[in-house]
Structure 1
Amino acid sequence: MAPPPKRQIDLSDFRPSGTFLELVATSSLNYRECALQQIMALMAHDADDSLDECLATALYYGATESEIQNVVYQSSSNLGPTRIIAIRDRVNAILQSLLGNLHQGLNKTYVEREVDVGDHKTVVKDSNPSSKAIPIVLIHALALDRRMWDAVYARLIAGVDSSIRVIAYDMRGHGYAAHAPQAQTITQLASDLHNILDQLTIAQADIMGQSYGGAVAQYFALSYPEQTRSLGLITTAGQAQPSWITRATRAEEAQSVAGLMPETIIRWFTPEAIARNEWGVRYARSCVERISVSDWADAWRCMSQLDTLQNLREGKVKCPVLLVCGVQDASTGPKWMGKLREAIESGGNKEVTYKEVDPGVHMMALEQSEALTKEILDFRKKVDGIRL
């Protein structure tokens, strides 16, 4: 007996009409997010054919494949291993059916896997696990996750030789590692990265972080100099600002992060990007909407401990350093990045590259990914030359 013909799905058919989406869509939950939530709900039960329709709906309303995969990872954390494998295989098969060659191409550029960090698990995105090259490790900003680097990640892989290895991961309290045991110090977050690299048997890496990730990168370089071939600091600082701790207390007092959303988005992006509602803006907004008050407050308390300038002035970071500053960055612009440059150079480090990007905002990886990637690649070539 011949198998039934494969069902063809047209993404344009998936507009809401009296369904789950219309019931739960509100001013704070758009159709895209509702579809992602429905995927999570279906995974908790024996999903029927509605799973492929729900995946198609999420794609139609702007969800990316990486967002869907992230939902799958998060939802499967409470399922048994057999069911996890079956569901992930089914989701991948449906995505391949919907996206065709695009899905296959995306799968060829990286793998994602769960890594045990010690007291919690996270997901690591790895472009080339078999490569022997020194990898570039990308550390995301506060409230976001590894997807923040998607555009930079893709350009890094496309812009260098095929042996390059690029790694991104979710920090404690973010993305797949949301609701992990409390983030208490930046030193702890640096230790988490050390554990991840050990799990991946990586002896040395080019460590690059943006904003909160830049703070973690500094503490990692100070604590694990032998694992740090070079250091990239993007739209970050070397000392805390008084307003940072209030972002924790304000959310706790209100029992919500929602009240901080407008000022956060305005601080992170240009007015033009916000007006166009670009993917980076939508993604950042959805991350802030989703983060718990406790994870938000923990992260800002960690950030409020930032204090590396004296260690930098004492010459404790000896590796090559890249500083990338956004001229229009309202959070950690030239004033703050200039202090980092002065401290590192006064410590005797002669291998400092300082770049100002104009236009350049705080969430540079999301709004100026092409310019940022160029600086990273140029620096990488320079470091390779220094170490030859």
Structure 2
Amino acid sequence: MNTARLFHRVHGPDGAPVVVVLHPLATHSALWQPQLPAWSGRFRVVCVDLPGHGRSPVLPDVTTLGQYAEEVRLVLDALGVDRAALVGLSLGGMVAQAFALAWPERTRALVLAHTSARTERAIRDLWSTRLQQAADEGMAAQVPAILGRWFPPDFAAVAPMTLQWVAEQIASTPFDGYAAAIGAIQRLDHLDQLHRITAPALVIAGELDAAAPPALARLMADRLPHATLTTLPDCGHIGNVQQALAFTETVGAFLVQSLEPPAFP
């Protein structure tokens, strides 16, 4: 019986290694469109809309990152997938951590991009302020500030249509889904548990990322037993969009190395 409650789509050949992609806050799985043509040729890519985002319903009983990860697990169960790699960006990276901690035997590899493993008190307070603003003004009013945090000014100046594409995702996110995800982010505290994740990991930082600075990526990479750290130069918070080619190839090479058996003559 299919017990999955999250909207998901599968791209790529049957029998290929499975890669689950998890999107940032206030977006949805379409944000991975720059990567799909390349990755779906080698992998079975499962694109998931997290609760209250995209075409997935708001789930009032899902309030923690562990519960978000449980919903992702139910998607894999419904697809008959025992083990997968997870690629998470920002909020998606936090959910991927929670999944790997809860189900290490089902985690083949992990990509943590533009994310963190602990939300400090000052950042929790900042999230509360942003949430109140969204409650007072609506999601559309949040778009300029979010885009300003996510994309460096030089990129924003030359990519107005790309930013409009992202802006539409932000504005269409239900407030209740946004609020629930912020609550989960505020309770993020995985840092002291990362040593338990033994799967190969790739940590990606953006040199100009104000939302998840490179220092946070280094902190995670230092705690993960089998991690590689890559920093994308001149890049902000949404590296898979701003530097789509570099992101696609860097992550793709890691996934090939981690998931595909070596060829022997």
Q: What's the Cα RMSD here?
A: 2.0
Percent identity, aligned pairs only, is 26
Comparing 318-327 and 180-189, the one that deviates more: 180-189
**Partners of 1:357 and 1:273 in 2: how far apart?**
14
Change (3 A) 1:387 1:309: farther
Specify whether residues 152 and 278 from structure 1 end up closer, same or farther in structure 2 by C-alpha distance, changes over 3 A only. farther
Structure 1 equivalent of residue 81 of structure 2: 202
Matched, 1:378 2:262: no
1:128-170 per-residue CA deviation (whole Å, 9 max, x = no partner) reads 3x62222111001101001000001122235x4xxx2111111
Return the index of the structure with the highest Cα Rg.
Answer: 1
Task: Confirm or deny that 1:147 pairs with 2:30.
Answer: yes
1:329 is paired with a residue whose SS is coil
The structure 1 residue matched to 2:96, chosen from 217, 234, 240, is 217
For residue 85 of structure 2, give the secondary structure of its aligned residue in structure 1: strand
Paired residue type of 1:150: Q
In structure 2, the residue matched to 1:304 is 186
> In structure 2, what is the Cα distance between the partners aligned to 1:285 and 1:374?
25
d(CA) in 2 for partners of 1:272 and 1:183? 38
The partner residue of 2:206 within 322, 326, 329 is 326
The alignment's TM-score, normalised by the length of structure 2, stands at: 0.90
Please give the secondary structure, in 2, of the residue aligned with 1:264.
Answer: helix
* Counterpart-to-counterpart distance in 2, 1:311 and 1:336: 15
Residue correspondences, number: 258
- 1:176 alignment partner, SS class: coil
CA distance in 2, matches of 1:377, 1:278: 27
Is contact 1:134-1:165 (8 Å) kept?
A: yes
> Quick one: structure 1 residues 384 and 178, their matched pair in 2 at CA, closer, same or farther if it must change by over 3 Å?
closer
Residue 356 of structure 1 is matched in structure 2 by 231
Greater share of residues in helix: 1
| Correspondences of 1:1-388 after superposition (within 5 Å) | 116-117=3-4, 121-128=5-12, 131-158=14-41, 160=42, 164-181=43-60, 183-240=62-119, 241-242=123-124, 243-252=126-135, 254-312=136-194, 315-344=195-224, 349=225, 351-384=226-259
Equivalent-residue separation in structure 2 for 1:245 and 1:386 (angstroms): 46
State the distance in 1 between where 2:153 and 2:256 align: 34
Alignment partners' CA distance in 1, 2:180 and 2:56:
13
CA offset at residue 362 of structure 1? 0.4
Q: Distance in 1 between matches of 2:161 and 2:141?
A: 22
Following the alignment from structure 2 to structure 1, what is the Cα–Cα distance between the partners of residues 55 and 141? 24
CA contact (8 A) 1:145 1:174 kept: yes
Structure 1 residue 353: deviation in Å?
A: 1.1
Measured after TM superposition, the shift of residue 238 of structure 1 is: 0.7
Q: 2: CA distance between counterparts of 1:355 and 1:255?
A: 37
Query: Deviation digits for residues 71-121 of structure 1, max 9, x if unmatched?
Result: xxxxxxxxxxxxxxxxxxxxxxxxxxxxxxxxxxxxxxxxxxxx742xxx3
Any idea what SS the aligned residue of 1:325 has? strand
Does structure 1 retain, via aligned residues, the 8 Å contact 2:6–2:71?
no
Measure, in 1, the Cα distance between the counterparts of 2:61 and 2:245. Answer: 34
Give the counterpart letter for 2:106 in structure 1: Q
Higher relative CO (Cα under 8 Å, sequence separation at least 6) belongs to: 2
Cα distance in structure 2, aligned partners of 1:202 and 1:175: 23
- Structure 2 runs not aligned, ≥5 long: none
Task: Determine the C-alpha separation between the residues in 2 that align with 1:361 and 1:190.
Answer: 26
* Residue aligned with 1:361, SS: coil
